[in-house]
Structures are given as structure tokens and as C-alpha cells.
Amino acid sequence: MVKYAHLIPLFPFIAFAINILFGRRLKKASAFVSITASSIALVISAVTFIGNLNGEGSYTIAKWIFLNGVPLNFGVTVDPLSCMMLLVVTIVGTLIQIYSMGYMHDDARFSRFFAYMSLFMGSMLGLLLADNFVMLYMFWEGVGLCSYLLISFWFEKPAAARAGMKAFITTRIGDTGLLIGILLLFFSAKTLYFKDLGGLAINDTTLTAVGILIFCGAIGKSAQFPLHVWLPDAMEGPTPVSALIHAATMVAAGVYLIARCYGLFISHHTALITVAYVGAITAFMAASIALVNNDIKRILAYSTISQLGLMMLGLGVGGYESGTFHLMTHAFFKALLFLCAGSIIHSIHIEDDPAMHTQDIRKMGGLFPKMKITGTTLIIAGLAIAGIPPLSGFWSKDELLSEIINTGHPVLFAVAALTSLMTAFYIFRLIFLVLFGKARPGVHAHESPYVMTIPLSILAVFSIFAGFFRPVRPDFLTMGISTAIAVIGIGLAYSFYILNNKILSADVRARFAFLYRLLSNKYYIDEIYEAALIKPCFRLAESAARFDLGVVDGAVNLTARVSVVLSKMQSWFDLYIVDGIVNMVANIAWLCSAILRRLQTGLVQNYILIAFFGLAIIILIKLIGG
């Protein structure tokens, strides 16, 4: 049953080709092309999942090339990890594309949007099925290209164009590390297959270097510190794109890469613990920034960064199953969060400017009675990410916390617990301000159309029950701690934003003003990059430009002038020397011909006379010479 797995990415690629070539003719029908292709991929993914339960596994499609004597084939990886991710990507991706029919209905580039979405889906599905690094890297770059195309989809907006370029360049830094790691692995171990990573016969230093370089690729794609800066700006793209990037494609690829290469990481502690600490730093940092942000999509973006950090932390302490489990549950409730945000943005408008769709949660409030389906599903997603039982996020987050504490990492457990507390607080800060806060005058909203609310309802079901797809293994102590953390976080948010209780006095709040500014400015990391990297690069470019203008252009101009002088000298030499010699030879030939012409009279008696005198001269010379 799994032998057709390689067809899964094929149908989205076909949909991309159809929509990019014939989209203008198809118009709105281009959405049905993409949705149909994604649905077929979903069916084949389900068949592959069932086949994998029966023990069927990976297979080779075709022989490809030999690299330095090592065979490299087109192959497909079919195992529990790839099968789980195939189902998640196709389910979430199909629902997002259905939702997009309503969200993008009046966009001038409707067919192009769905073409890019299909290409995005195909690239991610191909990445999941690759059985070697070369195939993975090709689809990896395809995912990066699609993120650029979709983040900057509304490229008329300068902010969107900059965001797309920022995402592309930032992730290229991590991709460079990944490429170097792949090359180092190949020349050290003579293999590029994932199945060989568990028993590599190379020294520890090389193994550590390979692992950390591969992790660099994951840092870029999954927006981990310090390459996390592109993901919040990626919110300039259409909201369905944000949902797809955050839930099922771009950022999921980095976590998947670490899980796929786990045989490499688990065999060396240094590489593995690096993953854990980078994940911990990222999780805490992003969650703390989300506490004070006021843009509904950017709050969710920092939430994604934080949750990805928790997944990396779980993987880094040896929790392969807990990390990938949270990757699955997160896909459903994070897609739901973003699509709910998109529903709100799509439906809300300001009275003074009906065309304005605000994303500032401070300008919203009291929307629940006007958007009950969106509001209800948003609350479900919020409860799931906060970790309230029995929703899906509770089971995966509880398993993560259990794994961290049971492997003997109390400091990392404290970081994860504090991150979970902040998560519950900021997500319900958003919910209370948007749905239950005081209604703002001049702000109107209405429920979104069914084509948008039906995918919300389906994702809400998955957000509730996805945690039961895995056998429950409760650790009651950790379960109690996890639930208490979520309840405390929600309670604090309720007290602050519904009861309006000022828990902290004005003096205390004033003392923490610096901390608020620090979080509002995202730890000044963008400013640090601007001062330490971007401006020096611009100055270097300007210096190079001045060098080009002053030295290179000067040398070019001097060369041009010398060429003019040499050209004139050559012309003079040609005119007076070469042409002079030619003319002199011609004149001599003409003079000789003029003399000889007079001797040619055509009279026989003249020729006899000349012959006689010639003979006489010869005889005379002979007599004199004796």
C-alpha cells in the first residue's frame, strides 16, 4: 500500500503547473485545482499511513547518480515520522486552501496565490519523503523559495517586499551551514542516507561539527535564536500563508530535520545538548516578547517561535517522541489560531475608514457576540496551546515537561515551565482583549463566510482530540504542575484584562519600565544586527562603490584614453609608414612598367635590332674578359 507514496507531492506540483500556466483562464476555478490536488495527496497519505501500520516501509524509486563512487538513488522514506507528518501537512494544508477561497476571493492575483500554495505543499511533502540529504536539500530550498514568494505576495507594499527578502536572506545563512554539514558528512562518512546516521564510523569532533552544522539549517528554517528575526516580519503576507508556514510547512521543516537526523544527534551529547539550550533560549525569549506585543498576528508569530523552541528543547534532552508529538498537536491549534486571526482581520473594519482591517488588539474588543464561531474556535485553540486538559496541547506539553525533568535537567524544566506560564498568559491576553474586552466605538465586525468558518470548526475538532492519537502515558505530578501553570497564566490574564486589577503598584511598574521597553523592542536584536552587520555591510558596499568610481573607473578611463592615443598612433603608422611603403613599391613597379612599356613596340625589326645589339654586347664582353 505504501508503494504509491512518491505520488503524494506529485499532485500539488501538477496543480502548480496548471495554475501558473492557465490560471488567468481558470480564474476562481484555480482554487479547486489546488484543493483537489491537495485532497488526493491527503487520500494517498492516509493509505500510506495505513500501509505503514502493516509493516510496509521505505523503497527506492530509481537509480540516480554516483558521487565519488557512492551510489545515490531517488528513494522514499516511509516510517511513523514521515507518515504522521504527511497526514498533518495534507490535512492542515487542504483546510487552509479551502479557507483561502474566502480570504483571497477579491485578490487580483487569486490564481497565482493558489499556484504558489500548491508549490509550497509539494515542496514540503517531497521534503518529508526524501531518504537522503541531497533530495531533502532540493525540496528544502523549494520550501524557502515558496516562503519568499508568499511572504512578499503583496509586493506593492514595501514592508511585504522587505519581509520576503529578509526571510530569504536570513534562512540562507542557516542553509549554508546545512550544506556545509552535508558535504562534511559525505566526505567523512561516504554516505548521504538517513538510515546510515546511527552508526557512522567518524571521530567525535567531526560528528559534533556535522550535527551542529545540520542544526544551523534547522535554526534558520524553524526561526530559532539567533536567526528568528525573519518570522515576525513574515506576517506581512496573507494570513493563510502565515497559517501554512507556522503550522505545516516552513518552520515545521527545521524540527522535522532534527527528528529525521536523530540517529546522528543521539550518538553525541554535545550536538544534542546544543539543540536543547538553543531551544530553551528561543522558547523563553519569544514568549516574553509576546507578552507585550499588540499585533494579533505577531503575537502568534512569537508564540510559534516559542513553541518550536520547546520542541527543540524536548528533542535536545532525548525526548524524540515528545518533541515530534508536540510538533503534530501544535500544527492543528496553531493553524486554527492563525485562521481565527485572519477571520477577525478579514471581518473587522473601522467606521472612519471601512477599507482598514486592523491587526492591533487594542482597537478590538467585544467581538464574541458578533463572531461566535470564530470566537469559540479561537478559545478552543487558546485552551489547547495553554495546556488545559483534555485538549491536545495539554498531552504533548505535559509529555515534554515530563521528559525534561525525568532526564535530569531542572534548569531547563524551569525555563520550559516559565515559558508555558507566559504562553497561557499572552494567548488569553489576546483572547480577552479581542473577544471580551470593552467594545471600541466605530469598530464593526461580522462573522466570516462558511468557506472560512467550516475549516475553523474542523481544526477545532483536531485541536481537541489530536492528543488522543497517541497512547496516554500520564505522569501525574507533572500533569498537575502543567495544569496549574496553565490555570495561573489564564487567571493572571483574566485579572489584568477583564477585572482590570492592578496587581502591581505604580512604583513597582515604574521600576520595570526598562524591562517593558526591552521586551517591546524585542531585546534590540534587530537593532544589534543593524548596527553590527547590516550598516557595516552597506558601508563596505558604499566603499566598494567609491573604489569602483574612483580607482576602477579611473583606471578604465585611463585605459580608454591610452587606447585612443594608441589608436591615433596606429592610424598615423598605417597612413605614413605602412601605406608609404605600399605606395613606394607601387610607384617603383609603375616606373619600371613605364620604362619597359616603351620597349614593347610590336615591330619585328625593332626586336631584331635589339637582339643584334644584345648579341654584340655579349660577344664584346666575352672578348674583353678573354
pLDDT of amino acid 508:
60
Dihedrals φ, ψ of 439, to 5°?
A: -65, 135
Distance CA 223, CA 220 (A): 5
pLDDT of amino acid 300:
96
Q: Which residue has the higher pLDDT, 249 or 313?
A: 313
Q: What is the DSSP string of 366-424?
A: --TTT-HHHHHHHHHHHHHHHT-TTSHHHHHHHHHHHHHHHTT-HHHHHHHHHHHHHHH
CA distances in angstroms from 503 to 326, 484, 485, 506, 520, listed in the order given = 33, 19, 18, 10, 21
pLDDT tens per residue across span 64-76: 888 878 888 888 9
CA-angle at 336, arms to 364 and 300, nearest 5°: 55
Q: Which residue has the higher pLDDT, 522 or 608?
A: 522
What region does 471 belong to: left with phi over 0, alpha with psi -120 to 50, or beta? beta
**pTM summary value:** 0.86
Whether the Cβ atoms of residue 141 and residue 176 lie closer than 8 Å to each other: no
Joined together, the cell numbers standing for residue 233 give 516580519
* Winning range, highest mean pLDDT, from 282-296, 470-484, 528-542: 282-296
Residue 602 has pLDDT above 70, yes or no: no
Task: Provide mean pLDDT across the span 132-157.
Answer: 93
pLDDT of amino acid 353:
57
Q: Which of 54-68, 303-317, 471-485, 522-536 has the lowest mean pLDDT?
A: 54-68
Give the DSSP letter of residue 552.
I
Q: What is the DSSP string of 143-189?
A: HHHHHHHHHTTTTTSHHHHHHHHHHHHHHHHHHHHHHHHHHHHHHHH
pLDDT tens per residue across span 210-231: 999 999 999 999 999 999 999 9
- Give the DSSP H/E element, type plus range, for residue 294: none
Residue 604 has pLDDT above 80, yes or no: no
- Neighbour tally for 36: CB within 10 Å: 14
Which value, to the nearest 10 degrees, does the dihedral of the CA atoms of residues 101, 107, 113, 114 take?
A: 30
- 494 CB-near residues (< 8 Å, 6+ apart): 428, 432
Which value, to the nearest 10 degrees, does the dihedral of the CA atoms of residues 311, 91, 78, 316 take?
A: 0
Joined together, the cell numbers standing for residue 158 give 514595501
Give the DSSP letter of residue 363.
G
3-state secondary structure 466-518: HHHHCCCCCCHHHHHHHHHHHHHHHHHHHHHHCCCCCCCCHHHHHHCHHHHHH
pLDDT of amino acid 603:
62
- Give the 3-state secondary structure of residue 287: helix
b/e code 380-395 from CB counts within 10 Å (16+ = b): bbbbbbbbbeebbbbb
Strand partners, 66: 71
pLDDT tens per residue across span 485-507: 999 999 999 998 888 766 555 66
Residue 354 has pLDDT above 60, yes or no: no
- Neighbour tally for 558: CB within 10 Å: 10
pLDDT tens per residue across span 304-336: 999 999 999 999 999 999 999 999 999 999 999
Whether the Cβ atoms of residue 416 and residue 406 lie closer than 8 Å to each other: no
b/e code 275-293 from CB counts within 10 Å (16+ = b): bbbbbbbbbbbbbbbbbbb
Residue 372 has pLDDT above 90, yes or no: yes
